[in-house]
């Protein structure tokens, strides 16, 4: 997995800033970039990230690789912290966010503080520090309900939650501020993998279901189970970030980042239950149904050919492979 990525980095050592470094996606970026011999400075406020994630991210590295990592405990809502993070860096990967759609309804102001004000603080700090590129986590949520259409990046945007409004606003700010900085917005589909917080009710469906199953509880399906999502393994999101950071294109580009294949929640659950039984010899509890969740998108299916063509991005884990590794981590606490 690191092989094709290292091609773009041969002979170059960049200094990378990562927000949300102790979080799910951020800690995987820390791990991969250090393994590729890069200098990394990470920041997190530990609102949802953890030191355990950072320990796990760095435990398999050599001392030399580990020495190239600096950590700042700080908050993207504080412009001074963002300036300290971005000082002297070449590339900024902005991952810190409040990632949950339901949480953004419960606390729209906090959503705005983190996902809009915080975003702007990091973007402005990246510009001020003279970084050459800025890659940020946008979301497939910006499309809203596109029906069963396969969405390309030029599809109209129709946010259905405060979270989606924030991500769309970030894209608009990026458009405005991209004059002397290469900016790429990655519209993530549903990211999953080891270190996705299994304890938070705001976490992604796969981590919530796996932790329930591991405790012998029934996974809850909101709605009729026919919502579709494109589930993307976290290591492929790492690949997309690194390739987008090294890409020299227009001043601001957005890319769909997924596998290009969507499944229903019911199909997802049956693959999880099957793999769980194969691995543990136990029968996983069946799903139970609850009402549809506010702001949920019904169908999510995006075309990833722009990222394939322009970034040479290629998803390397299909759903089964990604779930296999994720289940190993959740059930046996092994990193995948
Ligand atoms: C997710 C991401 C969001 C990202 C978006 C892109 C998380 C927490 N959210 O939102 O940051 O921008 O994808 O598409 O990773 N569900 C259940 N049972 C549960 C939990 C969820 O049935 O216990 C259902 C939800 O109703 C939804 C689907 O699973 O239909 C996915 O939900 P969730 O994992 O929360 O992600 P999204 O809301 O799609």
15-329 — its CATH code? 3.40.50.720
Average confidence score pLDDT of the chain:
94
pLDDT at residue 147 tops 80: no
**What confidence score (pLDDT) does residue 336 get?**
43
What's 3's DSSP letter?
A: H
3 — pLDDT class (breaks 50, 70, 90): low
Nearest to 166 by CA among 229, 234, 204, 120: 120
**What confidence score (pLDDT) does residue 1 get?**
52
pLDDT at residue 304 tops 60: yes
Nearest to 205 by CA among 333, 18, 330: 330
Q: Residue 204 C-alpha to ligand 1 middle, in angstroms?
A: 5
Determine contact, residues 17/91, Cβ cutoff 8 Å.
yes
pLDDT at residue 335 tops 70: no
Residue percentage of the chain with pLDDT more than 90: 87
Length of the chain: 336
List Cα–Cα distances, 93 to 136, 163, 283, in angstroms: 6, 19, 41
Q: What are phi and psi of 158, to 5 degrees?
A: -150, 70
Q: Where are the domains of the chain?
A: 15-329
Torsion sign, CA atoms 330, 332, 333, 336: negative
For the question of residue 163 being annotated catalytic, the response is yes
Give the mutation target among 155, 229, 234 for probing the ligand 1 site: most ligand atoms within 8 A of CB.
229
């Amino acid at each position: 997995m690191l092989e094709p990525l290292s091609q773009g980095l041969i002979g170059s050592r960049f200094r990378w800033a990562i927000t949300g470094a102790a979080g799910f996606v951020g800690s995987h970026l820390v791990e991969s970039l250090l393994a590729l011999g890069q200098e990394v400075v990470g920041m997190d406020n530990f609102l949802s990230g953890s030191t355990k994630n950072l320990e796990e991210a760095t435990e398999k590295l050599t001392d030399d690789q580990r020495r190239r990592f600096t950590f700042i405990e700080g908050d993207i809502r504080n412009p001074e912290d963002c300036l300290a993070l971005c000082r002297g860096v070449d590339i900024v990967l902005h991952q810190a966010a409040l990632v949950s759609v339901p949480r953004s309804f419960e606390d729209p102001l906090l959503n705005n503080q983190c996902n809009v004000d915080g975003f702007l603080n990091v973007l402005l700090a990246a510009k001020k520090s003279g970084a050459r590129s800025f890659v940020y986590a946008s979301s497939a949520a910006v499309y809203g309900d596109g029906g069963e259409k396969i969405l390309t990046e030029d599809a109209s945007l129709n946010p259905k939650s405060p979270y989606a409004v924030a991500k769309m606003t970030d894209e608009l700010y990026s458009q405005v501020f991209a004059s002397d900085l290469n900016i790429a917005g990655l519209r993530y589909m549903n990211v999953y993998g080891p270190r996705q917080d299994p304890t938070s009710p705001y976490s992604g469906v796969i981590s919530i279901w796996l932790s329930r199953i591991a405790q012998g509880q029934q996974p809850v399906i909101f709605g009729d189970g026919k919502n579709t999502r494109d589930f993307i393994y976290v290591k492929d999101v790492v690949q997309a970030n690194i390739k987008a950071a090294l890409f020299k294109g227009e001043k601001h580009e957005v890319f769909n980042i997924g596998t290009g294949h969507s499944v229903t929640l019911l199909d997802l659950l049956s693959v999880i239950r099957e793999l769980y039984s194969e691995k543990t010899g136990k029968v996983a509890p069946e799903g139970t149904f609850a009402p549809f969740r506010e702001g949920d998108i019904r169908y999510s299916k995006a075309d990833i050919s722009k990222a394939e063509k322009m970034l040479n991005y290629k998803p390397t884990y299909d759903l089964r492979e990604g779930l296999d590794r994720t289940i190993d981590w959740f059930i046996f606490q092994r990193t995948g």
